Amino acid sequence: MDNASVITMFTLSGLNDIANYRVTLFSLTLLCYCMIWLVNLTIIVTVIFDTNLHEPMYIFLCNMCINSLYGTLGFYPKFLIDLLSATHVISYAGCFLQAFVLHSSATADVSILVLMSYDRYVAICRPLVYRLVMTKQWMSVLIFVAWLLPFCLMLISTISTLTLRLCGSHIPKIYCVNFLIGNLACSKSIANKVIPAFNYSFYFAHFIFVTWSYMKLIRMCRASRKNRSKFMQTCLPHLLCLIIFVTCLLFDFVYTRFGSKHLSQGLQHFMAMEYLLIPPLFNPLIYGLILTKIRIRIHSVLCRKHAFI
């Protein structure tokens, strides 16, 4: 028999083992969240207000920073509240909303990273047609699809999880994800196996495209000193961000599905939140330090403010 019941609240993995460090951890988390907003907003505002940066590469970067703020908004406010509360619960609707925000943000990141890879491929491998290919109209279509497609796919995935009858309410993580909610189902449905399998295959194809484009880029850059310089200047930050994002996502993916209960709870929590901490914080810093136009623009603004002071 199914022991299904009406679930109105979910219990998240507890933070009882850090009871003596709540204030310290709250302060550090709040500081990290403020830093995430600061570095991402700096890039966004710089790109928006500097017309010299209204190029595909910088527009895609701006969208990646916007997506970082969107994704972290689905986690940090609730986590900060949990750090100071005795119970760690989330409403039924809130859990599904959080899962949707986190999933759609992660998949939108993949789409935007693919667009940035495509942009670098055309710029270096087909420079003569770059202006013809990367027009404002085509760039707008690519950005629209990069946002719309992940939202639609994750909406379908979330709706399919919503249809499940649940026999439990404890989620062994500090935030909600569809996979763990699905594990609470009284019985598995075909849709909840087919839809995730399709999504994994679809985004795995994205990584195949990125790998193929970089193989082409590296082959092209080996034959030209000018292309090597362009690769180091514009492709290197993208490659570093891609490696950081994939590594963090794989750690979370593997832990969520095959994680060991023998790990300390503190380490489990860090592995759960690392992709919501490291990429949003370090990606803007990497681009801000390596991309010359952005670095010069930010430096000039800071120097101007310092002169007024």
Q: What is the pLDDT of residues 267-297, one digit of tens each?
A: 777 888 888 999 999 988 888 777 777 877 7
Q: Is 55 within a domain? A: yes
Q: What is the average per-residue pLDDT within 60-84?
A: 93
Yes or no: say if 233 and 292 are a contact pair by the CB < 8 Å rule.
Answer: yes
Yes or no: say if 133 and 94 are a contact pair by the CB < 8 Å rule.
Answer: no
- pLDDT for position 98: 95
CATH number of the domain bearing residue 288: 1.20.1070.10
Range of the domain at 103: 9-308
pTM of the entire predicted model: 0.89
Q: Is 145 within a domain? A: yes
The total number of structural domains that make up the chain: 1
Q: What is the average per-residue pLDDT within 166-185?
A: 87
Q: What is the pLDDT of residues 227-241, one digit of tens each?
A: 677 777 778 888 888
Yes or no: say if 283 and 116 are a contact pair by the CB < 8 Å rule.
Answer: no
Q: Is 99 within a domain? A: yes
177 has a pLDDT exceeding 50 = yes
95 has a pLDDT exceeding 60 = yes
Residue 15 — φ and ψ, nearest 5°?
-115, 30
Which amino acid is it at 223? A
12 has a pLDDT exceeding 90 = no
Q: Is 3 within a domain? A: no
Yes or no: say if 109 and 74 are a contact pair by the CB < 8 Å rule.
Answer: no
Q: Is 1 within a domain? A: no
Q: Percentage of the chain with pLDDT > 70?
A: 91
Q: Is 252 within a domain? A: yes
Yes or no: say if 43 and 284 are a contact pair by the CB < 8 Å rule.
Answer: yes
Q: Is 205 within a domain? A: yes
Q: What is the pLDDT of residues 14-71, one digit of tens each?
A: 676 666 778 888 999 999 999 999 999 999 999 998 888 888 989 999 999 999 999 9
Confidence of residue 84 (pLDDT cuts 50, 70, 90): confident
Query: Of 269, 268, 284, nearest to 28 (Cα)?
Result: 269
Residue 179 tokens read as 């996979």
Q: Is 2 within a domain? A: no
Q: Please enumerate in sequence order all residues whose Cβ is within 8 A of that of 1, keeping only pairs 6 or more positions apart, or say none.
A: none
178 has a pLDDT exceeding 60 = yes
